[in-house]
Structure 1
């Protein structure tokens, strides 16, 4: 009975201690040391052999996509800059025949990502997100970053 009570009371506490938690805004909880880069950023700079970039002249949103051919399709990491929030976005791979596949999606907080000169510390850093498409690398003509409302923020030729 004592052991069961310890599990009931101690279980949630142990789970919180193991997972670390998040204070919001992408900051690690005070209980753990912050990781200086995200796993997506590490992969983007260190491991993906091919990168393509584009900046939209109207929205001024800039994106670089790192790609890696895989047996299952194409692994990608997106670096996104100068995007303001709040909004939800999606990265779409478009094939040479016009077929579309969602690669990944994310939310942009009100302060945004990759905004030079921002007074908000978190807004200065670009966003990095992983994704994957079943589409083979040879079939991809371009990528588009769009809002959930369908507005294209930037197009990147592949």
Structure 2
């Protein structure tokens, strides 16, 4: 049997270059694979964490965080609405104050609602002098309510501020009513 001798120096250099190139390609593929695995792990672990953080965790919608000290509706109510009307229903004890501002498109409104308990869904309705009705805005009342001083829930002490608008001109509005979705009137406020 014939045993070959050592390769020529030039052939040896080519073989070593080829082996080095193969190892470098394999290392790049391995590194790329590791990066893909790391990115997938970030998405698998980080995605739900981000979703929980963004949505406030597993807290049900009915137990949302307490309202901001001043939100956009409250800010408009306190600083922009020069005209305000108020009433308290003697039967339900629900109180409503409605801030109004005439606009070219109708009437801008902000409702401040207190002493209303839930859970229930409500709407603010503008009633014209001719009896025409328009829903100005609607909302849900959590079980602890809004502006309920006797509630043990910390968020219940805050009134509800809801921004809305009616297509009616301010001069055409006779009164507003806060009603439940099933039609029960909680309070009526003369405009």
* TM-score after normalising by structure 1: 0.83
More strand per residue: 1 or 2?
Answer: 1
Is 1:154 paired with 2:183?
no
Secondary structure of residue in 1 paired with 2:55: coil
Is 1:139 paired with 2:172?
yes
Q: Equivalent residues in 2 for 1:47-62 (5 A)?
A: 47-62=80-95
Q: Distance in 2 between matches of 1:35 and 1:21?
A: 16
Q: Distance in 2 between matches of 1:79 and 1:38?
A: 12
Q: Equivalent residues in 2 for 1:20-99 (5 A)?
A: 20-22=54-56, 24=61, 25-27=63-65, 35-99=68-132
After the TM superposition, which parts of structure 1 deviate over 3 Å for at least 4 consecutive aligned residues?
19-26
Q: Distance in 2 between matches of 1:51 and 1:116?
A: 23
Unaligned runs of 5+ in 1: 29-33
Q: Report the equivalent of 1:122.
A: 155
* TM-score after normalising by structure 2: 0.70
Pairwise CA distance, 1:35: 4.0
Q: CA RMSD in A?
A: 2.5
Secondary structure of residue in 2 paired with 1:85: coil
Unaligned runs of 5+ in 2: 1-35
Pairwise CA distance, 1:50: 0.4
Equivalenced residue count is: 149
**Who wins on radius of gyration, i.e. which is larger?**
2
Pairwise CA distance, 1:36: 2.0
